[in-house]
Structure 1
């Protein structure tokens, strides 16, 4: 099992074990409140996807709801999910498939707001599979039998790539996936270590600027309204702090609507929590930030995870989704 996948598996399994033992009630603890203002911590990943929450904090949408937000950065869901369940964070952001995997393992999570979605436009999405300009790989079908790099094995990128390859008439079971960090994928494609790689913004724009070519938009090609990521909390926190959850949801909805209407401000806010070249920052493709979770696309991701053997236990979407 690759290191990153092993860490994710162990983190989720360990958290599940604690909860099953009846010791996972930390997520329901009341957050600190002072002078009518509730202090909350939100676990986020320093990527383009979470720009709306940074904008929302800057614009005062959360303070208007009586929330004092501290944004805590983490590498991914392997750290954020257990931190939310334990109460270290009151809310967190994660890709949809990771939340589905956690749900199938019995972790009591509750989605409270949509996070990020595909643009729905193939070739103009914020995630895609790239190859060298002179690669013989022209379509999704051509990925069959090839070595393809993804940032995490057995997750949203492998299932959506498998899906678009199958839809194009290829056999996804013949793909060999290799796990690499997003910043390392383009170089691996260039050196020939892998035939192709899945990247998201800003790495997609960086790759295009270096002469690489897109083969398929695996998110848009799976579902034009694909909900790629969501904000969540624990079920305990939801039941014990309904007003705080309602306030967070209202502020997030205002934040995503503002982000959608002010793309220039989105690009500007990126420099406050990422290190991007100004040219890349100005040219990258922004995702959609919907006001509501697209349930059908979440169900589809669950079905794809089952097809690929990632999920073997029943999902409880009614418990997970708003």
Structure 2
């Protein structure tokens, strides 16, 4: 397996790519007029192989009333997923909030409508070195390689934020080489010495730790504790044209999140297995056995303003955005979330019932 280190100015390159994508999208998209709010709407989306997305769970639980879902394939990363939504290839997508902020700053007319993934004490991403490695601090990472699934998203932001919080200078942080490695290959790359630090989460973290020989350098929860990191987005024109559909999507996904938050892990996994086995995509259910939590901090995916503003501020500090270039308040809305708009009490269950 051969790994290559990406060129300098990764974030700037990512933004340039997004600008091109957005320019192509917005250049050929006319403003949409509102249509019949009662008409049924089909939402095109990308899934994840061997896993169940929260919209898919909401659909299976019967929480979606005014929309149906149309799977068009599987996504390769969060940034790719929201770019597909921004260009009209799909109707919604999900990604790390920092990646969403960059896309908006590049001119994309999208809005976050609900949080959908994060980190807690059982669902988190760890950054690991080999036992016996001389790397034990942020300073030890100067000039070293850190493997992660994609650049310009969750793991790059978290690594760079941790390095900054640990006192490294901008030049020292820039010397840390961020290397793209598929999650399925990260453990092997780390054990073979092709990278110095490996990013591991979920099944890949648990199975690697079972084999032993790894030392945890830090985790994303060590930065902010329980924290929602990513959101689902829709384009502005789609929201304007289909407000009832977007509202139905949000309430359904919110209730599905709450369902996972209020049911035993075994019940959730059993439901995931049933969904995967019934959708006919030639998958297995091995990955869902390791599911522990969506990691969503708030009830039903209600977006906390700090989950957006913290990454906008980070991009400003990094020089990717100008101060005041975008207002974090313009990037998201909770108006359709039943756990925020007064439909349900924040601590109630998926049908508004009281929970113990």
Q: TM-score, normalised by structure 1?
A: 0.82
Contact 1:149 1:197 in 2 (8 A): yes
Please give the alpha-carbon distance, in whole angstroms, between the structure 2 residues aligned to 1:11 and 1:176.
20
1:131-154 CA-to-partner distances (Å, cap 9, x unmatched) read: 122323234454344221122234
**Residue 57 of structure 1, CA deviation:** 1.5
Please give the alpha-carbon distance, in whole angstroms, between the structure 2 residues aligned to 1:274 and 1:255.
24
Structure 1: which 5+ runs fail to align?
Answer: none
Q: Is residue 310 of structure 2 the alignment partner of residue 296 of structure 1?
A: no
Contact 1:44 1:80 in 2 (8 A): no
Contact 2:82 2:92 in 1 (8 A): no
**Residue 47 of structure 1, CA deviation:** 7.6
Partner-residue secondary structure (3-state), 1:53: helix
Distance 1:315 1:36, change over 3 A: closer
Q: Which residue of 1 aligns with 2:343?
A: none
Please give the alpha-carbon distance, in whole angstroms, between the structure 1 residues aligned to 2:13 and 2:160.
23
Q: Which residue of 2 aligns with 1:158?
A: 156
Match of 2:30 among 18, 25, 30: 25
| Matched residue count | 311
Distance 1:296 1:78, change over 3 A: closer
Structure 2: which 5+ runs fail to align?
Answer: 334-356
Match of 2:328 among 311, 317, 320: 317
Q: Which residue of 2 aligns with 1:168?
A: 166
**Residue 19 of structure 1, CA deviation:** 4.8
Please give the alpha-carbon distance, in whole angstroms, between the structure 2 residues aligned to 1:8 and 1:109.
17
Match of 1:15 among 4, 14, 21: 21
Contact 1:205 1:285 in 2 (8 A): no
**Residue 312 of structure 1, CA deviation:** 4.7
Q: Which runs of 4+ in 1 moved over 6 A?
A: 3-7, 29-33
Please give the alpha-carbon distance, in whole angstroms, between the structure 1 residues aligned to 2:233 and 2:196.
35
Contact 1:41 1:69 in 2 (8 A): yes
Q: Which residue of 2 aligns with 1:205?
A: 206
**Residue 111 of structure 1, CA deviation:** 1.0
Distance 1:164 1:8, change over 3 A: closer
Contact 1:16 1:106 in 2 (8 A): yes
**Residue 225 of structure 1, CA deviation:** 4.0
Please give the alpha-carbon distance, in whole angstroms, between the structure 2 residues aligned to 1:135 and 1:74.
34
RMSD of equivalent CA atoms: 3.3
The 10-residue stretch of structure 1 (266-275 or 180-189) with the greater mean CA deviation from structure 2: 266-275
1:136-179 CA-to-partner distances (Å, cap 9, x unmatched) read: 32344543442211222343212211222332344534422222
Match of 1:59 among 53, 58, 61: 61
Larger CA Rg, structure 1 vs 2: 2
Alignment of 1:222-233 (within 5 A): 222-233=223-234
Please give the alpha-carbon distance, in whole angstroms, between the structure 2 residues aligned to 1:274 and 1:316.
44
Please give the alpha-carbon distance, in whole angstroms, between the structure 2 residues aligned to 1:253 and 1:155.
23
Contact 2:260 2:293 in 1 (8 A): no
Partner-residue secondary structure (3-state), 2:223: coil
Please give the alpha-carbon distance, in whole angstroms, between the structure 2 residues aligned to 1:61 and 1:180.
37
Alignment of 1:52-201 (within 5 A): 52-62=54-64, 65-72=65-72, 73-119=74-120, 121=121, 124-171=122-169, 172-201=173-202
**Residue 78 of structure 1, CA deviation:** 4.4
User: In proportion to residue count, which structure has more helix?
Assistant: 1
Q: Which residue of 1 aligns with 2:44?
A: 41
